């Protein structure tokens, strides 16, 4: 990633509408053919912007073939809902997979005046600013984080480290004002949490009190720097918990390696942020840096709402009826849970169950083959990886099913949330069943339906539902996952300064090493660029439960399964293992 001021590709701005004077009532006076043409043109404009297409997509071609993944599908749904004043299903782009079918569905809804296309109150209009002085409750995701921290006040499990490597001349004095401006824009970064009258409230302060700390490692040898980084990581994720009632709830460090190389290190409490939010934060950071460097007005539009507005809206929407609907989904999903996987032959004796990561990159050619295979099967790349992961785990299961946790940071269910920093993520439960020993194609279809269902119900996890339904105390032990797959799309926006030499920014990988973790986590970094996309597979394992040699064997077997799936998708899974 390079930093430059002449591109705004990373800013998620809505493209000019083809129907700026759109009025649903006027469309009702048109015939179906004219409505369809207007909706198709609007849909094409949005797809060109979201998928970065050079021209309008073929109306009859599956959008997955253009690279549509879950995040883009959600963004499309948000924009269409916002544009037409309606509420559309979260999986609408997968249920109506090409522009022709999707425009036809929207046309039919308008013609029939279906409730999904009507303005049905707050759920349709989305979150808006709260009245001044109103008490601010936590979102379900925040409440879960707060609850666990209250139960374990000295725990660092919710500490989230991130790191950037900066190569090139850096004006270090600009970083603090840039970070201050981000905190001014995003109130979540200057929010603390207070317990009053058996409730916990968000308290927004005028400043975050976060001061950039400087470290100089320039006189150290490479071995000494490596040890210093390990010591820093250990302190941040094992020894320095946050007090949620006090600011700041994030820490930032600038480490000088040499004159033209620095590390910019962050640690947040999870109650403030998720991974996608960090990508938004660092995007804003470098846009502000480029603007301040040239004494220009920052190229960032004002935020229509704050995270606390979203939290209040989500609470309002979780009526008893909706909570009952969520409970029915979770009861069905978690009925007859699988037996634990037999991954380890040794007893875990590590006191705090810390983790390490082994990374294996896939080349652009391999990634492109997987993308093409997924499109041919009518699935997303994420679904293909989930399917392969479940096949990998099949021999270690009871051969009936596996339960895989999948963090989802896609709860930005309205366009107003797309550029908002906050805790939107939660773990979905993917219960993959294979007692009938299906072939690859059948398992892919099964996994795709499971992912779509999880996508629809991601706004409240099982644990959050228990907390909300039982006045703050879970009615059962917290659902924990033995295995997790974490799919992280990464497409850093290019930002370059006209007046300064190029400054390159790279993500520091494996920053979570040492964090308490499930027994096995597959972290998929999906790096997207104009030169071709690439997958980096990080195998994070619990030290003491699994050994590095086992992880190497699992990773090699996983890549072999991916090849076998493409070679013979009609093969039954028991033959693949």
Q: Can you tell me the mean pLDDT for 13-28?
A: 44
- pLDDT at position 322 is 78
Distant-in-sequence contacts of 341-345, Cβ < 8 A, 24+ apart: 341/393, 341/396, 341/397, 341/402, 341/482, 341/483, 341/519, 342/396, 342/397, 343/396, 343/482, 343/483, 343/519, 343/520, 343/545, 343/546, 344/519, 344/545, 344/546
Residues 6+ apart with CB under 8 A from 554: 392, 520, 539
Distance CA 66, CA 56 (A): 11
Dump pLDDT digits (tens) for 212-267.
Answer: 999 999 999 999 998 998 888 888 877 899 999 999 999 999 999 999 999 999 99
Element (H, E) at 415: none
Structure tokens, 237: 């994720």
Report residue 181 CA to chain centroid gap. Answer: 24
403 bridge partner residues: 431
Domains annotated on the chain, with CATH: 2-124 (1.10.1200.10), 140-297 (3.30.559.10), 319-494+507-576 (3.30.559.30)
Spatial contact of 254 and 214, defined as CB atoms under 8 Å apart = yes
Between 190 and 494, the more confident residue is 190
37: number of Cβ within 10 Å = 13
Distance CA 231, CA 41 (A): 56
Dump pLDDT digits (tens) for 132-178.
Answer: 766 688 998 899 899 989 988 888 889 999 999 999 999 999 999 99
Dump pLDDT digits (tens) for 500-553.
Answer: 457 888 888 777 765 667 899 999 988 877 788 899 999 999 888 899 999 999
Spatial contact of 479 and 406, defined as CB atoms under 8 Å apart = no
Asked whether the whole model's pTM tops 0.85, one would answer no
Residue 411 — very low, low, confident or very high, per pLDDT cuts 50/70/90?
low
Supply the mean pLDDT for the chain. 82
Spatial contact of 61 and 83, defined as CB atoms under 8 Å apart = no
Q: In 3D, which of 434, 448, 446 has the Cα closest to residue 574?
A: 434
């Amino acid at each position: 990633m390079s930093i430059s001021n002449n591109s705004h590709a990373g800013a998620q701005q809505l493209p000019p509408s083809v129907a700026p004077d759109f009025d649903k009532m006027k469309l009702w006076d048109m015939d179906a053919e004219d409505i369809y043409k207007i909706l198709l043109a609007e849909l094409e404009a949005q797809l060109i912007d979201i998928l970065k297409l050079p021209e309008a997509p073929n109306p009859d071609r599956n959008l997955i073939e253009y690279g549509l993944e879950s995040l883009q599908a959600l963004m499309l749904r948000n924009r269409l809902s916002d544009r037409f004043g309606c509420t559309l299903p979260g999986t609408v782009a997968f249920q109506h997979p090409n522009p022709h079918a999707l425009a036809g569905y929207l046309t039919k809804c308008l013609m029939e005046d279906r409730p999904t296309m009507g303005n049905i109150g707050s759920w349709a209009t989305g979150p808006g600013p709260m009245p001044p002085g109103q008490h601010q409750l936590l979102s379900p995701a925040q409440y879960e984080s707060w609850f666990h921290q209250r139960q374990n006040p000295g725990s660092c499990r919710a500490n989230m480290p991130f790191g950037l490597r900066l190569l090139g001349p850096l004006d270090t004095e600009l970083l603090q004002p840039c970070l201050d401006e981000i905190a001014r824009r995003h109130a979540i970064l200057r929010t603390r949490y207070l317990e009053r009258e058996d409730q916990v409230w968000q308290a927004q302060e005028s400043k975050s009190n976060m001061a950039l700390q400087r470290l100089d490692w320039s006189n150290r040898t490479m071995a000494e720097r490596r040890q210093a980084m390990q010591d820093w990581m250990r302190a941040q994720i094992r020894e320095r918990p946050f007090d949620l009632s006090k600011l700041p709830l994030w820490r930032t460090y600038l480490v000088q390696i040499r004159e033209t190389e620095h590390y910019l290190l962050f640690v947040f409490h999870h109650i403030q942020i998720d991974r996608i939010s960090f990508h938004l934060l660092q995007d804003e950071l470098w846009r502000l840096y480029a603007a301040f460097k040239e004494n220009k007005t920052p190229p960032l539009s004002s935020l229509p709402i704050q995270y606390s507005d979203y939290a209040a809206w989500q609470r309002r929407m979780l009526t008893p009826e909706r909570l009952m609907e969520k409970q029915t989904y979770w009861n069905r999903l978690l009925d007859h849970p699988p037996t634990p996987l037999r991954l380890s032959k040794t007893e875990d004796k590590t006191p705090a169950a810390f983790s390490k990561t082994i990374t294996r990159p896939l080349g652009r050619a391999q990634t492109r083959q997987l993308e093409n295979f997924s499109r041919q099967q009518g699935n997303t790349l994420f679904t293909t990886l989930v399917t392969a992961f479940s096949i990998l785990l099949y021999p270690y299961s009871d051969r009936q099913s596996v339960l895989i946790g999948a963090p989802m940071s896609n709860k930005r269910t309205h366009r107003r949330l797309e550029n908002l920093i906050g805790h939107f993520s939660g773990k979905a439960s993917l219960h993959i069943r294979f007692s009938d020993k299906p072939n690859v194609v059948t398992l892919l279809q099964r996994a795709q339906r499971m992912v779509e269902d999880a996508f629809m119900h991601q706004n409240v996890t099982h644990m959050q539902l228990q907390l909300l339904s039982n006045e703050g105390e879970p009615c059962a032990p917290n659902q924990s996952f033995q295995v997790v797959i974490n799919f992280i799309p990464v497409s850093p926006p290019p930002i370059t300064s006209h007046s300064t030499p190029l400054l390159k920014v790279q993500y520091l990988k494996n920053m979570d090493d040492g964090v308490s973790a499930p027994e096995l986590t597959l972290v998929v970094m999906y790096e997207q660029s104009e030169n071709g996309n690439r997958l980096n597979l990080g195998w994070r394992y619990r030290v003491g439960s699994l050994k590095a040699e086992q992880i190497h064997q699992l990773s090699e077997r996983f890549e072999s399964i991916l090849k076998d799936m493409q070679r013979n998708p009609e093969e039954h899974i028991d033959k693949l293992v």
